[in-house]
């Protein structure tokens, strides 16, 4: 994936969601676009903060874990630390939660409203080492632009 591909994806996502205020509808469309446009994925979606856990939100893929405690697994770690988690081999990640046995690599990007983490974008791949620095930069840029809309109150959480 070239960074230009992610820039195009970001423009496509923003055009799709900027006139809609419903968060769930927008996250559903974002997961759909990413699932269509990125290769070698087996799951892409969102988990949203509810209290001290993440709860399954809009996604594309097989049924998934519904609740993830904050600080547990890749998603819970990303949300608890507000840092991107890029894992080449999830079987080497201490505390990995295996929702789908076919997932081998994962990248999770937390996003915030008014400085508070409200959820994470979670993307899984059956291919070990699927996500590289360019994927991370591109997805962080995309979610940064989504976050700007969230924080401008153009989208209601």
Say which residue, 1 or 31, is predicted with more confidence.
31
Per residue in 43-78, pLDDT (tens digit) is 999 999 999 999 999 999 999 999 999 999 999 999
Q: Domains, the chain, ranges and CATH?
A: 3-151 (3.30.450.40)
- Please report the pLDDT score of residue 93 as a whole number: 82
User: Has residue 1 got a pLDDT over 70?
Assistant: no
Per residue in 3-48, pLDDT (tens digit) is 899 999 999 999 999 999 899 999 999 999 999 999 999 999 999 9
Q: How far is CA 94 from CA 58, 74, 97, in A?
A: 26, 9, 9
Strand partners, 54: 49, 68
Q: How far apart are the C-alpha atoms of 61 and 157, rounded to whole Å?
A: 23
* Nearest C-alpha neighbor of 71 from the set 83, 62, 80: 80
Q: How far apart are the C-alpha atoms of 149 and 113, rounded to whole Å?
A: 9
Q: How far apart are the C-alpha atoms of 134 and 140, rounded to whole Å?
A: 10
- Please report the pLDDT score of residue 152 as a whole number: 87
Q: How far apart are the C-alpha atoms of 116 and 11, rounded to whole Å?
A: 25
Average pLDDT over residues 121-150: 96
């Amino acid at each position: 994936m070239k960074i230009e591909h992610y820039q195009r994806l970001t423009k496509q996502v923003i055009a799709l969601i900027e006139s809609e205020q419903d968060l769930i509808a927008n996250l559903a469309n974002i997961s759909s676009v990413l699932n269509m446009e990125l290769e070698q994925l087996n799951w892409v979606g969102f988990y949203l903060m509810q209290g001290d856990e993440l709860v399954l939100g809009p996604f594309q893929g097989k049924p998934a874990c519904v609740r993830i405690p904050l600080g547990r697994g890749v998603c819970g770690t990303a949300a608890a630390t507000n840092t991107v988690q890029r894992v080449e081999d999830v079987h080497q990640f201490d505390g990995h939660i295996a929702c789908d046995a076919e997932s081998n690599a994962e990248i999770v990007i937390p996003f915030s409203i008014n400085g508070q983490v409200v959820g994470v974008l979670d993307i899984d791949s059956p291919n070990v080492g699927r996500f590289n620095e360019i994927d991370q930069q591109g997805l962080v840029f995309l979610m940064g632009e989504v976050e700007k809309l969230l924080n401008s109150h153009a989208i209601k959480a």
